[in-house]
Amino acid sequence: MPAPATADTTCQEYEKVLTAAQAAAPVLAAMPLTERAGLLRAVAGALRTQADELVPLADADSSLGVPRLTGEVERTAGQLEMFADAVEEGSWLEAIIDRAGASGAGPDLRRMLIPLGPVAVFGASNFPFAFGLAGGDTAAALAAGCPVVAKAHPAQPRLSGAYARVVVDALHAAGAPEGTFAVVHGMENGRKLVTDARIAAVAFTGSTAGGRALADLAATRPSPIPFYGELGSLNPVFVTREAARVRGKEIAGGFLASMSLGAGQFCTKPGVLFVPAGYGLEDLIAAEAATAPMRLLHEGIGTAFRAEAARLAAHPAVRPLSVPEQDAADESVVRPVLVSTTATELARCPGQLLVECFGPFALVVTYTDDAELPAAADLVDGNLTATVHGEQSGDPVAPALLRTLTGRAGRVIWNGWPTGVTVGWAQHHGGPYPATTSVHTSVGVTAMRRFLRPVAYQSVPDTVLPPALRDANDLRIPRRVDGALTAAPVTAPR
Amino acid sequence: MPAPATADTTCQEYEKVLTAAQAAAPVLAAMPLTERAGLLRAVAGALRTQADELVPLADADSSLGVPRLTGEVERTAGQLEMFADAVEEGSWLEAIIDRAGASGAGPDLRRMLIPLGPVAVFGASNFPFAFGLAGGDTAAALAAGCPVVAKAHPAQPRLSGAYARVVVDALHAAGAPEGTFAVVHGMENGRKLVTDARIAAVAFTGSTAGGRALADLAATRPSPIPFYGELGSLNPVFVTREAARVRGKEIAGGFLASMSLGAGQFCTKPGVLFVPAGYGLEDLIAAEAATAPMRLLHEGIGTAFRAEAARLAAHPAVRPLSVPEQDAADESVVRPVLVSTTATELARCPGQLLVECFGPFALVVTYTDDAELPAAADLVDGNLTATVHGEQSGDPVAPALLRTLTGRAGRVIWNGWPTGVTVGWAQHHGGPYPATTSVHTSVGVTAMRRFLRPVAYQSVPDTVLPPALRDANDLRIPRRVDGALTAAPVTAPR
């Protein structure tokens, strides 16, 4: 079935969407937390109910396969429910009460976080559901109380309309104000969103080039807004000598599985692996590398992969580990490419070799001396993740390396693989630029923080205060009162 | 005494400072929290001990007077001590532990905040101590574990050197690594700091024009960093009909005192006052307005004030309330200027009249219908503060107005005045642009959040984890473990 032609959203329709989002903002902000949580649960339920309709459309768009996409719908629904629970738990409000006299002669001062306003969401193509129209960014923004205007991804012509309808209908049925969620189509409308005075923040997941262009555009606004971009990441993995000795074969297999998961189209794909020379890991990887063709998300990604993998494979500093000939028939079908170099050669031209190649490509770097590892870690840019494979005993290099990598990544992994991002309280999916353009996460409960700003109320009467800051604490949320954390009401007058 | 000529920091010295700051970053980050708190307390102690030396220098630079500046030293010392206490309390680390299995089949994941790295601080001239070299931004950055490179304000030629020396010596004596704090001089060095790859964040307090220029410069970096600017604010005050009736005279007096505090050079100066027509508040203000000359911070501010106040007083939409002739002798000595207009006229040219005029200037706006108030509130840009004077009974307009103003300001005040910013847990000194360029505060404990970023550790052995995330919780800090807030250690294996 050929992809339907999706027309760009017209100017009139765009205006209608933005006006509705602006009107929905105060209504959504004032909605009781249990009702707001109910909206998220309604979308989760609708996604589960209508997965059978949506998954085939997503598969036709992305070629990611029905099992993986079915799992992704469940992950997306679970993510919405996690935010629903967090909304009710209420610690994200960061309520702080300093009663009169708490700080010297100060007045009664009560601070909490409030929603920023309408958020523009640019989803990714590699996770059509989980990072798509009702993915993590949308769920976090709605949880924070912000309406969402999502830009449809051009690589999802079949899914976008149906996915949007499920979300809009579910929100409507659950009592959300009109304008809580809408989708716009067309690249020019995406740029309009980023500079629109009615948009209060942007969340973007995609390429470094595309994200940076929009971030730069956002910076030119008369009134700047936060731009939360999750861009590129190499996700380096370091294997110590001791780990290579004890479980080299297991590591080689784990690496190959992780780098080719989803045809290498995870933002957490390990793109570079550092191994000690002389333990045969390169040979194991070369021998076990899959060479069967994989279908990438769309032709543009296939073409870019072929060009970039070929450029890297032809670089004078690298030698092939597994460089199968690519088929000419279909640009979007590719075979995995693995090449290697040495830490010494890498140090001569890191900027040419340490670049993200989206798809099933990886670079294996051999080192001969443990002292090369910290220097190698310093060569990599900011990353979503960095991984160390080591042994707890007799492996003195590992702890120091872990500490060094903390400066280079948002998530540091011990003896695991970066692909697979748990959705929970402690997750951090972000990292120094270009991994993200901010210090925030796009996955996990704390992702809500991106769409909130503090307000302090000074000497405001209890009845006029938002419920979260009233003495009674009817919401039973955790608060800091006169410096101490408590979920109790403020009872005795000071 | 003529101001000493302060030479710009040389290239060699600048390099030395930045190299030292970069080297200090990991040492400071790894320092036990009690020791880090000790550094802040040492600076506080040194400021108190050497106040007698510093205050006259600050007075010679700023003309703010010895009593006010003596109080400001105490405020600055207290602020450092507040951050020291907060560092030890530890909730700012936002430690979150999801043990293996806490979220479905997820691995052990532990998240906390870590320091960003060296911070460039641009202090303000209107609070030489509290927003100066060891003011709120520096205290918050050091508390977060970040070295500080402060740019000396050109209007503090006498104070800067001595102030810096007190801070550097105190830090050195308390065991801080070399490079924890340094000062650079010269405008070009300020611009260099903003684009320096070794600087991880910028904190700025000053004018909208100056701050925006540096923010735009920061946005052009190959690797963008957060720019935390506290820029301009009008701080509107709204007086309801009922409040004007009950305590018009008290309000007029309070307003005049607040707008002329520190010669109108507070960032929270109420620059515009909305009063109901027919209650005589304009006449009271005109009659009671001070006309005695006031010395501003420096000649440049005096010249800018004269020009802007004259422009506003000559605007066809305004009439004079108190527009004394300015003296020709000394540009930096000025007399307060007060003018008025109507809400109707204001609505025709808000961009021309609702502008910050730094110094003792204010605009009084009369309204005839309560319905004009929400519309008037919508005309003002983002602000640090917004204030309502109302009566709790028989004043239905006040609660709605308070809620509207929440969208326009970072701190909403009931029956008080915006000048005077308590330093404590609940303070928020920030607001929608141009009040600040971010969603963060520059005053209060939560100001630390600007200089931190999250890192998650996945399956990392307990002994390798930072102390804040180890099972034992020896630091006794509040943490979220498997979703629940607790200060207890993680005991039972899951």
- pLDDT at position A40 over 90: yes
- Residue B213: strand, helix, or coil: helix
Secondary structure of chain A as H, E, C letters: CCCCCCCCCCHHHHHHHHHHHHHHHHHHHHCCHHHHHHHHHHHHHHHHHCHHHHHHHHHHHHCCCHHHHHHHHHHHHHHHHHHHHHHHHCHHHCCEEECCCCCCCCCCEEEEEEECCCEEEECCCCCCCCCCCCCHHHHHHHHHCCCEEEECCCCCCCHHHHHHHHHHHHHHHCCCCCCCEEEECCHHHHHHHHHCCCCCEEEEECCHHHHHHHHHHHHCCCCCCCEEEECCCCCCEEECHHHHHHHHHHHHHHHHHHHHHHHHCCCCCCCEEEEECCCCHHHHHHHHCCCCCEECCCHHHHHHHHHHHHHHHCCCCCEEEECCCCCCCCCCEECCEEEEEEHHHHHHCHHHHCCCCCCCEEEEEEECCCCHHHHHHHHCCCEEEEEEECCCCCCCHHHHHHHHHHCCEEEEEECCCCCCCCCCCCCCCCCCCCCECCCCCCCCHHHHHHHEEEEEEECCCCCCCCHHHCCCCCCCCCEEECCEEECCCCCCCC
Residue B493 predicted with pLDDT over 60: no
Give the Cα separation of B135 and B73 in Å (integer).
Answer: 9
Residue A63 near residue A297 (C-beta atoms within 8 A) = yes
Token pair, residue A337, equals 């490419």
Burial of B113 (0-12, 13-18, 19+ CB in 10 A): buried
- Omega of the bond prior to B350 within 30 degrees of 0, cis? no
Please state, in angstroms and as integers, the Cα–Cα distance from residue A248 to each residue in A99, A245, B231, B354, following that order: 60, 6, 56, 69
End-to-end alpha carbon distance in chain A: 71
Alpha-carbon gap, residue A424 to A408, rounded angstroms: 22
pLDDT at A253 over 70: yes
> H/E element holding B319?
strand B319-322
Compute CA distances A428 → A32, A409, A442, B422, whole Å: 28, 10, 8, 33
Say what the pLDDT of residue A294 is.
Answer: 96
Distances (CA, A) of A297 to A50, A53, A67, A185, B441: 23, 20, 16, 19, 43
- Show which of residues 215-234 on chain B sit within 8 Å of chain A, judged by CB atoms: 215-216, 219, 223-224, 226
Fold of A237-414: Aldehyde Dehydrogenase; Chain A, domain 2 (3.40.309)
Average pLDDT, integer, range A268-284:
97
Query: In the predicted model, what is the mean pLDDT of residues A110-133?
Result: 97
Residues 293-322 of A with CB under 8 A from B: none
The token pair that represents B415 in the structure block: 């029956």
Interchain CB contact of B414 with A (< 8 Å): yes
Residue A88 has which token pair?
A: 């009710």
Is residue A493's pLDDT more than 80? no
Instruction: Give the minimum alpha-carbon distance from A132 to chain B in angstroms, rounded to a whole number.
Output: 22
B104 and A422 within 8 Å at the Cβ level: the answer is: yes
* Position B1 pLDDT exceeds 70: no
Spatial separation of the C-alpha atoms in residues A425 and A82, rounded to whole Å: 9
**A343 CA to centre of own chain:** 30
**A168-172, A419-423, B484-488: least confident range:** B484-488
According to the model, what pLDDT value does residue A2 have?
63
Q: Does B452 contact A433 at a Cβ distance shorter than 8 Å?
A: no
What type of residue sits at position A258?
Answer: S
Q: Which of A302-316, B94-108, B187-201, B334-348 has the lowest mean pLDDT?
A: B94-108
What lies within 8 Å, CB to CB, of A27 at 6+ separation is A177
Cα atoms in the 13 Å half-sphere on the side-chain side of A289: 25
Give residues with Cβ within 8 angstroms of B12, minimum separation 6.
Answer: none
The residue ranking higher by pLDDT, A151 or A375, is: A151
**Does B416 touch chain A if contact means CB atoms closer than 8 Å?**
yes
Region B59-86 average pLDDT: 97
At A77, the pLDDT band (50, 70, 90 cuts) reads very high
Angle at A111 between CA A109 and CA A115, to 5 degrees: 150
CA distance A153 to A408: 30
For residue B214, give the chain A residue with the closest CA: A219
- First-last CA distance in chain B: 71
Looking at chain B, which residue has its C-alpha nearest residue A388? B460
Q: Give A-chain residues touching B432 at CB under 8 angstroms.
A: 223, 453
Cα–Cα distance for residue pair A230/A264, rounded to 1 Å: 17
How many angstroms separate the CA of residue B418 from the nearest CA in chain A?
9
pLDDT digits (tens, 9 = 90+) for A198-244: 999 999 999 999 999 999 999 999 999 999 999 999 999 999 999 99
Whether A103 shows a pLDDT value over 90: the answer reads no
The whole-number average pLDDT for the span B178-187 is: 98
pLDDT value of position B2: 63
Which chain B residues touch A224 with a CB distance below 8 Å? 215, 433, 437
Element at B330 (helix H, strand E): none
User: Cβ distance B209 to B55 under 8 Å?
Assistant: no
How would you classify the pairing of strands B361-367 and A479-481?
Answer: unpaired
Q: ipTM for the complex?
A: 0.96
C-alpha B263 chain-centroid distance:
18
Residue of A nearest to B452 (CA): A439
| B434 cis-preceded (ω within 30 degrees of 0) | yes
B425 vs A103: CB contact, 8 Å cut-off?
yes
For residues A427 and B141, what is the distance between their CA atoms, to the nearest angstrom? 25
**Boundaries of CATH 3.40.605.10 in chain A?**
11-231+439-451
Q: d(Cα A379, Cα B190) in Å, to the nearest integer? A: 28
pLDDT in tens, A384-402: 999 999 998 778 888 889 9
The predicted structure's pLDDT at residue A398: 85
Q: Does domain A11-231+439-451 have CATH number 3.40.605.10?
A: yes
Give the angle A435-A436-A438 at the CA atoms, nearest 5°.
Answer: 150
Mean pLDDT over each residue of chain A, to the nearest integer: 95
Residue B442 to residue A53: CA distance in whole angstroms: 50
Catalytic residues of A, which ones? 230, 267
User: Does the pLDDT value for residue B411 go beyond 60?
Assistant: yes
B91 Cβ under 8 Å from any chain A Cβ: yes
Q: CB-based contact (8 Å) between A437 and chain B? A: yes
Pairwise CB contact (< 8 Å): B452 & A439: yes
Provide the 8-state DSSP code for B483: T
Q: Does B411 touch chain A (CB under 8 A)?
A: yes
User: β-strands A272-276, A237-239: how paired?
Assistant: parallel
Considering chain A, tell me which residue range(s) the CATH 3.40.309.10 domain(s) occupy. Answer: 237-414
Other C-beta atoms within 10 Å of B35: how many? Answer: 13
Q: What is the pLDDT of residue B492?
A: 57
How many Cα neighbours within 13 Å face the side chain of A105?
2
Q: Is A402 left (phi over 0), alpha (psi -120 to 50) or beta?
A: alpha
Rounded to an integer, the average pLDDT of B377-401 is 90
Structure tokens at A249: 């074969």
Question: What token pair was written down for A433?
Answer: 């630029």
Instruction: Give A226's contacts in chain B (Cβ within 8 Å).
Output: 438-439
Give the mean pLDDT of chain B: 95
A180-192 pLDDT per residue, tens: 999 999 999 999 9
Of residues A4 and A347, the one with the higher pLDDT is: A347
pLDDT at B209: 94
Please judge whether A424 and B102 are an interchain contact, meaning their C-beta atoms are less than 8 angstroms apart: yes
What is the spatial distance between Cα B393 and Cα B370, in angstroms, rounded to a whole number? 16
For A50, what's the count of Cα atoms within 13 Å in the CB-facing half-sphere? 19
pLDDT recorded at residue A393: 76
**pLDDT recorded at residue B262:** 94
Q: What is the pLDDT of residues B434-492, one digit of tens each?
A: 999 999 999 999 999 999 999 999 999 999 999 999 999 999 999 999 999 988 888 75
Give per-residue pLDDT as tens, A81-99: 999 999 999 999 999 999 9
With tokens 């735009």, the residue in question is B216
Residues of A in contact with B423 (CB under 8 A): 103
